[in-house]
Amino acid sequence: MSSPPPAPPAPPAPPTAARPARPADMTVTVVLIVLLGLGGLLSLTFGLFFLMAGANCADSACTDRVGLAVLLIELAPVVAWAPTTAWAVVRMARRKVAFWVPLLALPIYVAVVAGGVAVLGTVM
């Protein structure tokens, strides 16, 4: 007795089509990332003016609060820009829509600066 012939192998699955490149999305995303970076540099410069709030401080607690407020205000652009830029680059590499990701840096920036201004408000 002979055994039945083996079944033929299944045909290979067709390759999945790669997502199409979106040049407009990539261009807008890169422009937004660059503009946010430049705005962050400008913000770093103006953030130093908050040091003048400590000019009338007489005790070290006041100086510490001014230092914390300036630190928050100065770090806000970096805290907002760096993670959103990294996320946008990953999304662009995976060919997903990414133009909206750098825009998320704005509310993050506003929240961190608002925290710094709130700390600075306790000094005045």
State pLDDT tens for residues 97-123. Answer: 999 999 999 999 999 989 988 988 887
* Average pLDDT rounded to a whole number, residues 12-17: 68
- Measured between its terminal Cα atoms, the distance across the chain in Å is 99
Q: Under DSSP, is residue 64 helix (H, G, I), strand (E, B) or coil?
A: helix
Distances, alpha carbon 38 to alpha carbons 32, 52, 105, 111, 114, in Å: 10, 24, 13, 19, 20
Nearest to 70 by CA among 50, 90, 86: 50
pLDDT 10s digits, 33-79: 999 999 888 888 888 888 887 777 777 778 888 888 888 888 888 88
Q: What residue type is 46 in one-letter code?
A: F
**Cα–Cα distance for residue pair 68/63, rounded to 1 Å:** 9
H or E element that contains 107? helix 105-121
